[in-house]
């Protein structure tokens, strides 16, 4: 009997980190030492957060990345597997430490983060090529740039050659080749990243609406600027719109941006409608900030269904079966 191969909604390329989080009364100033009130250790990393968000929302997913041959690497791969993510292409690098993030979170849920790339830094073009079989079976490709810039550009080019929908979260800010950037189908950036791309200060809904117009001149049809607690502004074709996030009790914003990326990517791939996708993704991200941690805060589809106004939402709008 012929083997039936899996198809994927999304394949995600990028980073896996273990987060070391201290909860403080206020974030330290330069040269200042502050004591944390509590401390936690939990899995994270931009790509891991994004792919697990999508998986918990019922997406079929695969991930490509690297971890070290240490206990943290084992924990990270187990976390992916438990979420239902295909982790076959998350490779173990001998003699290298898994990436880590050192996070401080204040009483308002704001954070300050320092990362160490570790094994994330040695993801190669060859690793991407080895994922070709899964890439061919994926509807969409998600990546960030916590990797070598050339590897990111190579991934985008390969996905474009295969006609895949490409979602780029330009984080951290990297000056990638302008011709490669034009290949992106959906660009997701925050305020500092959109300021870099647009050349203007993005710090409000109105300035974000100006910035998406400027950024679109790169040649990208679909752009989202995330605004934290103010939700997100997006442009698709001639439409520019803002969706505010639901008001919630903010506990920890760590991973909220990644949660948005994972949610909007899955919703957009399934529905093809960026409007309805952003509207829902801002609320999935809002729900995530009501819990501590990164991956530990990511909501399931069932949790999201309980959170939203049932009268305004139908899963069929997103082409999702509960």
What's phi and psi for 295, nearest 5 deg? -60, -35
Query: Which of 246, 258, 269, 244 is CA-nearest to residue 297?
Result: 258
Known active-site residue 87: no
Joined together, the tokens standing for residue 259 give: 């949660």
Distance CA 199, CA 235 (A): 18
Nearest to 280 by CA among 294, 292, 265, 296: 265
Retrieve residue 285's tokens: 């991200």
CB 141 within 8 A of CB 61: no
Q: How far is CA 52 from CA 46, 61, 157, 197, in A?
A: 10, 8, 24, 28
Residues 6 or more apart whose CB falls under 8 angstroms from that of 16 comprise 43, 45, 47, 48, 63, 65, 66, 67, 76, 80, 90, 98, 99, 119, 120
DSSP single-letter state for residue 172: S
Pairing of strands 165-169, 186-189: parallel
Read off the DSSP letter of residue 100. Answer: E
- Using CA atoms, how far apart are residues 236 and 317, in angstroms rounded to an integer? 18
Residue from 238, 258, 309, 314 carrying the catalytic annotation: 258
Instruction: Give the Cα separation of 113 and 294 in Å (integer).
Output: 12
Q: Note the helical H segments in 98-237.
A: 125-130, 132-136, 149-161, 178-181, 191-198, 205-216
The torsion angles phi and psi of 91, rounded to 5 degrees, stand at -90, 150
> What is the token pair recorded at 202?
């993005």
User: What residues act catalytically?
Assistant: 258
């Amino acid at each position: 009997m012929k083997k039936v191969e899996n198809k994927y909604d999304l394949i995600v390329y990028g980073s896996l980190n273990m987060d070391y989080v201290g909860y403080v009364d206020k974030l330290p100033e330069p040269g200042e030492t502050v004591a944390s009130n509590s401390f936690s250790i939990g899995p994270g990393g931009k790509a891991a957060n994004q792919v697990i968000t999508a998986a918990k929302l019922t997406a079929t997913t695969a991930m490509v990345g690297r971890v070290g041959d240490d206990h943290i690497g084992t924990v990270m791969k187990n976390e992916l597997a438990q979420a239902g993510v295909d982790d076959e292409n998350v490779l173990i690098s001998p003699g290298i430490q898994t990436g880590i993030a050192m996070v401080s979170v204040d009483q308002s849920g704001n954070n300050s983060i320092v990362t160490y790339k570790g094994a994330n830094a040695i993801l190669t073009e060859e690793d991407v090529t080895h994922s070709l079989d899964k890439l061919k079976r994926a509807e969409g490709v998600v990546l960030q740039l916590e990797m070598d810039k050339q590897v990111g550009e190579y991934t985008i080019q390969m996905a474009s050659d295969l006609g895949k929908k490409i979602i780029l979260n330009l984080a951290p800010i990297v000056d990638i080749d302008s011709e490669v950037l034009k290949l992106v189908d959906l660009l997701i950036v925050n305020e500092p990243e959109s300021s870099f791309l647009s050349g203007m200060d993005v710090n409000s809904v109105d300035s974000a609406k100006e910035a998406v117009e400027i950024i679109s001149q790169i040649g990208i049809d679909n752009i989202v600027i995330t605004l934290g607690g103010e939700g997100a502004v997006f442009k698709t074709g001639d439409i520019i719109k803002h969706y505010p996030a639901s008001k919630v009790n903010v506990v920890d914003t760590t991973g909220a941006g990644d949660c948005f990326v994972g949610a909007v990517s899955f919703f957009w791939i399934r529905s093809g409608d960026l409007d309805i996708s952003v509207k829902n993704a801002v609320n999935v991200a809002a729900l995530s900030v009501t819990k501590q941690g990164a991956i530990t805060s990511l909501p399931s589809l069932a949790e999201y269904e309980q959170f939203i106004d049932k009268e305004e939402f139908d899963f069929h709008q997103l082409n999702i079966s509960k």
